[in-house]
Amino acid sequence: MLIDRQKIARAIASKLSEHSGSLHSQWLTSKPIRHFYLDDLLPAADVTKLSNSFPSPEKLLHRSTLRERKSVGIEVERYDPCIAEYLFAFQEPEVVSSIAEITNLSDLEADPTLYASGISMMIQGDFLNPHIDNSHDGDAERYRVVNLLYYVSPDWQLSDGGNLELWNAGVTEPHTILSRFNRLVVMETDQLSWHSVSKVLADRARLCVSNYYFSRSATCGTDYSNVTTFTGRPEEPFRRIILNLDGYARNALGKAFPELRHRTKHRIK
């Protein structure tokens, strides 16, 4: 059966609009980073089919460093067609408009190249250390301002690990959000939006569909520029020192050689 991205997009936009008032309140009152989440976004049976359509690990790019350990999907055309349909559904105008209405970020722009977007798979032992995202798109022309994280692992529990963590500016205390099945989390990204994923404890895969929206102006009201920058957790002082030095060096290189920050976009047919 063919998957219709427009139909998916209409369903997402309808659900967002139905709950726009409460989601807007979440956005305004949430801490330490502005965010909201919405459960049961789409029919559970459809999302289960999406989960089952994720590619095998060997078709993904595996990253394993002090910063992170996870597998990401960047070659959408190699996967089951429904992966691209769900990814692109979040890029449809009605979904972008719904997010803009909830967040009051009126100049949001989708990104059909899916820069930094895609799918991710994290298995037992995988993690993502506290970090702030690269400030701009692949052409360094627009600010990255909103991150959409859609979790599709059935029956995921808090005790399974692999949960989203939003940190205060000093990266001393996390606010944990369960990576619950069929949950959409929308969070602001700026120069202080430290976030991470706790280590996966379950012996199964934690799956996520990720999208970003961009803007010609920074939400903080002032211009800034940074590469993706990591740090260690509070209980990892040695790793924090190493990753802080790594961040300083990578940001210095990014400023000296801006072309290094222009990353390859998805190859989409």
- Asked if residue 268 is part of any domain, the answer here is no
Task: Identify which of 33, 49, 23, 3 has the alpha carbon closest to the alpha carbon of residue 169.
Answer: 33
Count the domains in the chain. Answer: 1
Give the dihedral sign, CA 199/69/129/221.
Answer: negative
Any domain includes 156? yes
Query: Which residue range forms the structural domain that includes residue 91?
Result: 5-261
Decide if 87 is inside a domain: yes
Q: Is residue 128 part of a domain?
A: yes
State the pLDDT confidence band at 269, using cuts at 50, 70 and 90. very low
How does pLDDT run across 133-164, given as a tens digit for each residue?
999 888 888 999 999 999 999 999 999 999 99
Which tokens go with 116?
């930094």
CA separation, residue 163 to residues 26, 55, 254, 266 (Å): 19, 21, 30, 26
| pLDDT tens digits for range 216-262 | 999 888 899 999 999 999 999 999 999 999 999 988 877 766 655 55
CA 168 to chain centre: 18
Is residue 160 in some structural domain?
yes
| CATH number of the structural domain spanning residue 133 | 2.60.120.620
CA distance 77 to 168: 38
Q: Does residue 178 belong to any structural domain of this protein? A: yes
